[in-house]
Chain A
């Protein structure tokens, strides 16, 4: 059985890192070019968190919460909404 959930589950952590709510932020996968909101990305939880493209499974982000910082690897194109 697949053990993933989705990006909604770490909306709070993402808001810590980005100081904004970003589950409705669209991201384009660099592998399959599929565009989808971060909330719809698959989430795999282990020692850290890995978000994957819901279409092809390619990595979107890896997040580790460390004592002094967040170690974040981001891939693909993230389309953050502009604040008017």
Chain B
């Protein structure tokens, strides 16, 4: 077994331990979302698509735990989480509204091995994201860029309104560079000069973006459950092999 694969295997078999993460920087992304740049001691490294569990403990001992996808590329020195504020959530309002640089909280990870992409994998990459489902897909695109990969990569992103699009500038740069990006807005009137699509994702959008099933792209779909169910149904309907459509769903509330 080659060294990297062995290390990966060992890391995968290690028991999960809670570590104390320190917020090193906070970047506002949209009105409702912020990226927390975390310093995590003895972070073992991660793969694009993996997540972490975050645990907050109140003064009275009450604990709340949530999963958040890692937004940063594996090569980066820090762990970045992009947190979207869920109004009645237990964890996300704290992380987006109250957490300050220097604050600490518990975190364990990296977690997950199914919803993972590596630049060494061959074949085209097709990413389909709904809302903050973009976060793990962004880790994949950042990983692809950091690895210098020029493989075929395409992204279909569904957002409510233009102001809700995460990493807008970075996506623009990636779009000019080598990633085919299509964005569709599902709510309200698109801004003047909007060149993307409007309305919910449909089979025509996926077919137009490609690549066709005959090219056997690796497909990753992430978003709220109804979005993922619909996207997966459309992709399989277009002829993509269900076994290469990787899915990750998040719930409607509770964050």
Contact = CB atoms under 8 A, between A and B. Distances in A.
Interface of A: 1-9, 11-12, 15-16, 19-24, 37-40, 45, 83-84
Interface stretch (B107-115, B122-130, B140-148, B167-175): B107-115
Given A1-B226, A12-B108, A15-B111, 6 more contacts: A8-B249, A20-B12, A22-B113, A39-B114, A39-B248, A84-B9
B251 A3 contact: yes
A20 B113 CA distance: 10
A16 B229 CA distance: 28
Contacts of B109: 12
Given A15-B111, A21-B111, A39-B114, A8 B248 contact: yes
A5 B250 contact: yes
Number of chain B interface residues as a range = 20 to 34
A12 B114 contact: no
A66 to B, nearest CB: 16
B12 A12 contact: no
Contacts of B51: 8, 11
A45 B67 CA distance: 14
A11 B113 CA distance: 9
Contact of A8 (B1, B12, B13, B115): B115
| Residue picked from B1, B15, B108, B115, most chain A C-beta under 10 Å | B115
A18 to B, nearest CB: 10
A16 B249 CA distance: 21
A52 to B, nearest CB: 13
A19 B11 CA distance: 11
Contacts of B100: none
B41 to A, nearest CB: 19
Contacts of A83: 9, 13
Contacts of B112: 8, 11, 21, 23, 39
A50 to B, nearest CB: 14
A19 B67 contact: no
Contacts of A23: 112-115
16 contacts: A2-B225, A5-B250, A6-B225, A6-B247, A8-B249, A9-B250, A11-B67, A12-B111, A16-B15, A23-B115, A37-B114, A38-B114, A39-B112, A39-B113, A40-B114, A40-B246
Nearest to A20: B13
